[in-house]
Chains A and B, each alone.
Chain A
Amino acid sequence: MTGKGEILPLRASEDVVIVRQRVRALAAQEGLKLVDQTKIVTAASELARNTVIYGRDGTALLEAVEAGGRRGVRLTFEDRGPGIADLQLAMKDGYTTGGGLGLGLSGSKRLCNEFEIESKVGVGTRVTITRWR
């Protein structure tokens, strides 16, 4: 697997807009169809917002990836926030501690092909998603 990445900061709500635009450009460049571009950009928007709201010193890593002749886009959202104590609960539709709709994690998982989440209380959270062409 090869990847050449771009790291973007996630500190304010304006940063979420920049991440959306950069993910769109990368997804188009990697040849994803319009619907798939829309899905990964929407997932990126949800996860980037989570990072800004709940995290601290958040970043987004954007990579073009290739495996078994397939090309795709991989995004990694990382923060040094409080972490998530109960991942199973956090992944449930409608569960939120932030007053939103509680669709960020569960919804973005449905919008991509691969979804991984790691979190440690007091250390931070890392979410990695991949959408293949």
Chain B
Amino acid sequence: MERIPILKMGSFLLVTVQVDMHDQLAMNLQSDLTDKIVSAKARGVLIDISALDIVDSFIGRMLGNIASMSRILDAETVVVGMQPAVAITLVELGLALTGVRTALNIEKGMDLLRASIG
């Protein structure tokens, strides 16, 4: 089955979404990430979506779910690299991504994770 790779870096997990995800692939990522947070005892998750040229309500919901689930499992999630056109479209679509922490790029996202974990 198709899967998006999850990299472990210290106590953080790193995901770079580089393909146009169909819905099942997004669902797989959601469940793989929650499993991996537990098995790797991760404290932070960084999701890079700079290669995504759209985020629709399904992907948006998945990002929100990952953020909520990781919080329950004592890990922080930061979504980084959203393209400006994607941000404009998301807001107009009606999705504010409430509860999802974001940063402009990977570097700033890592800073945010380090700071929040202490």
The answer, yes or no, to whether A42 is at the interface (CB within 8 Å) is: yes
Number of A positions contacting B (CB below 8 A)? 27
Contact between A38 and B56, CB atoms less than 8 A apart: no
Contact between B22 and A13, CB atoms less than 8 A apart: yes
Contacts of A101 in B (CB 8 A): 57, 60-61, 95
Interface centre among A16, A35, A110 (most CB of B within 10 A): A35
Known: A106-B94, A107-B95. A46 touches B56 (CB 8 A): yes
> Which of B10-18, B32-40, B82-90 is the contact stretch?
B82-90
Interface centre among B54, B60, B83, B84 (most CB of A within 10 A): B54
Contact between B20 and A20, CB atoms less than 8 A apart: yes
Number of A-B residue pairs, CB cutoff 8 Å, is: 71
Number of B positions contacting A (CB below 8 A)? 23
The contact sample of 29 A-B pairs, CB cut-off 8 A, is: A13-B23, A16-B23, A17-B20, A17-B22, A34-B85, A35-B88, A35-B89, A38-B88, A38-B89, A41-B54, A42-B54, A42-B55, A45-B58, A49-B23, A49-B56, A93-B94, A100-B58, A100-B61, A101-B57, A101-B60, A101-B61, A101-B95, A103-B57, A107-B93, A107-B94, A107-B95, A110-B92, A110-B93, A111-B89
Which residues on A are within 8 Å of B, measured CB to CB?
13-14, 16-17, 20-21, 24, 34-35, 37-39, 41-42, 45-46, 49, 93, 100-101, 103-104, 106-108, 110-111
